[in-house]
Structure 1
């Protein structure tokens, strides 16, 4: 992709985001603070719609590549946007999610593989989508963390193993630049909403899946290790406290740092970005395709994360139901 064309796409994405802001303001698509929120002012919800729009621009401008992935992304983004506007029936929402994931699998040509791979992929995809959605709770975290993933995947595609369209990576990256321009602020202009967190999770899953299927290197899952640790460990603590893990909460570590310790949102988002950045470098230059090193990295990271949480939050808070 030429620099001129990239600039044109960037300007188109800015224009589309501003049009969405006008529509969101007109139709009252806003996020009002409540007792679980990490923000204190009314803000436009669903600014992450730009991720799906960016992927659609790629589809039409670059030869209609990956049609089943785009169809799945459009479906899951649309149902998530409607859910942002008005809470939908869980059966309807989950049905569309399942259809979208199956379209993703078809694009990967996963149905040609043994059934157990489909089960493993289903657990990974559903888990990652939910983790991304749970982790989208403060300014900057989704956009900044995701742009790190896209930049890392672009570098792998360009310098190590070509596995996907560089135009897709660049277009998605530009959509993240636009979103971060409005979200990576002390007082955000917009939030990603379910449409944003779920869409970008779907896109990143597709790209990591392509990379794994090309290289048979499962270490690349660790490009999302920080989100995975926070999500899985938090669920574990909630189970130990006998809480309903399906209810909304503020138990993630990033939420504790933001809400209890009053760390600025952008500081917490940058911390998660930096830690994951170090892990990404380790995965690419040290771990490579070593299963032993991958498992060692997971174990060491988990021990360090648990130690930090117990040290910062305390055993009583983490294990006792208030």
Structure 2
């Protein structure tokens, strides 16, 4: 069976599997896992959360059978899958009964660290760096990426608008030979699962949320796929694909730190959240984010095609300017121009 057909089957299986499992879980989630509005929330009434269980389960099961549970490639995925399950359990507990900040970050760091430390010792992004230094940087970066995906999951369809274009781009890059088969198939399954979750999370009619049980492992799985792209030598592409999420979360964190705000507490100061306060509808926000991600995916593809350090610098500059323009647009009242 051809690789492209396997990827298509993985995508479709995860889509339908996630949709069916989400539908089956909804009565249970409505009974035991209601998300009540807080300072960070965009919803006004208690809404079930925890559909991330379906997304992650569909992703892991479909990837297992797509890669082959008896193959050496699957053995390499076991630390990632175990870490995703554990970090999902941490998120599930936090959804029901909030865990204090330090224990929560410590548990997340253990999961990310397990993935980073089990990477083959001959795999490095920057060979000139000492291995321990690069692994330490990956641990910090991985922990931040897991949390920023969680932070950005504050609007209906937001994670879908981010995850589907990024995973689709990873699949295309894999089919073109820029990414190995395991992360490509994982991306196909994750993108399909997010698409299957989408109808239950429609703006204005959301019946269920992902919850931390979904956003945290999704961040880990997506971050691992991007790391594999970087390890293949495509660092610029790996930065361009999630650039909107990286920019919104990082700039928001820095702004809150500089203002000496308790940045670890729930808030509504991300650019995408400010956009809804400034007159943008939820559909407009997620639509613009999705379009930005598609444009970033195109830049990532150009980066890989040109394979030039100078071109990478220019493309990252173009992507940064585009994302910066969108963030400034979100920060102003709708209809206000410079």
**Which TM-score bucket, shorter chain as reference?**
0.7 to 0.9
180, 192, 202: which is aligned to 2:210? 192
Q: Which residue of 1 aligns with 2:282?
A: 265
30, 34, 38: which is aligned to 2:38? 34
253, 261, 268: which is aligned to 1:250? 268
36, 58, 79: which is aligned to 1:68? 79
Using the TM superposition, give the Cα deviation of residue 145 of structure 1 relative to its aligned residue in structure 2, in angstroms. 0.9
Q: Which residue of 1 aligns with 2:20?
A: 15
Q: Which residue of 1 aligns with 2:128?
A: none
Deviation digits for residues 50-73 of structure 1 (CA, Å, limit 9, x no counterpart): 232023313542423111111111
Closer/same/farther in 2, CA of residues 208 and 313 from structure 1, 3 Å limit? closer
Alignment of 1:139-178 (within 5 A): 139-165=156-182, 166-178=184-196
Closer/same/farther in 2, CA of residues 280 and 305 from structure 1, 3 Å limit? closer
Alignment of 1:83-98 (within 5 A): 83-98=94-109
Farther-moved stretch of structure 1 (86-95 vs 96-105): 86-95
37, 45, 50: which is aligned to 2:49? 45
Instruction: Report how many residues are paired.
Output: 312
Farther-moved stretch of structure 1 (296-305 vs 177-186): 296-305
Using the TM superposition, give the Cα deviation of residue 218 of structure 1 relative to its aligned residue in structure 2, in angstroms. 4.1
Does structure 1 conserve the Cα–Cα contact (< 8 Å) formed by 2:26 and 2:48? yes
Closer/same/farther in 2, CA of residues 270 and 308 from structure 1, 3 Å limit? closer
Closer/same/farther in 2, CA of residues 231 and 91 from structure 1, 3 Å limit? closer
Q: Which residue of 2 aligns with 1:57?
A: 61
Does structure 2 conserve the Cα–Cα contact (< 8 Å) formed by 1:51 and 1:172? yes
Does structure 2 conserve the Cα–Cα contact (< 8 Å) formed by 1:13 and 1:175? yes
TM-score by length of 2: 0.82
Does structure 1 conserve the Cα–Cα contact (< 8 Å) formed by 2:156 and 2:201? yes
Using the TM superposition, give the Cα deviation of residue 184 of structure 1 relative to its aligned residue in structure 2, in angstroms. 2.9
Distance, in Å, in 2 between the alignment partners of 1:143 and 1:312 is 19
Deviation digits for residues 97-150 of structure 1 (CA, Å, limit 9, x no counterpart): 122112212443258761111022122211211211111111111112101111
Alignment of 1:199-210 (within 5 A): 199-210=217-228
Distance, in Å, in 2 between the alignment partners of 1:11 and 1:311 is 36
Q: Which residue of 2 aligns with 1:320?
A: none
Closer/same/farther in 2, CA of residues 308 and 83 from structure 1, 3 Å limit? closer
Closer/same/farther in 2, CA of residues 312 and 21 from structure 1, 3 Å limit? closer
Does structure 1 conserve the Cα–Cα contact (< 8 Å) formed by 2:162 and 2:290? yes
Does structure 2 conserve the Cα–Cα contact (< 8 Å) formed by 1:10 and 1:174? yes
Does structure 2 conserve the Cα–Cα contact (< 8 Å) formed by 1:139 and 1:184? yes
Deviation digits for residues 256-312 of structure 1 (CA, Å, limit 9, x no counterpart): 111x22322121011011012112201211575444444444445545655665676
Unaligned runs of 5+ in 2: 1-5, 125-130, 333-338
82, 86, 106: which is aligned to 2:93? 82
TM-score by length of 1: 0.86
Provide the secondary structure at the position in 2 that maps to 1:102. Answer: helix
Distance, in Å, in 1 between the alignment partners of 2:328 and 2:64 is 50
Distance, in Å, in 2 between the alignment partners of 1:95 and 1:179 is 29
Farther-moved stretch of structure 1 (161-170 vs 260-269): 161-170
Deviation digits for residues 28-58 of structure 1 (CA, Å, limit 9, x no counterpart): x011123432121221112122232023313
- Root mean square deviation of aligned Cα: 2.6
Distance, in Å, in 2 between the alignment partners of 1:305 and 1:33 is 29
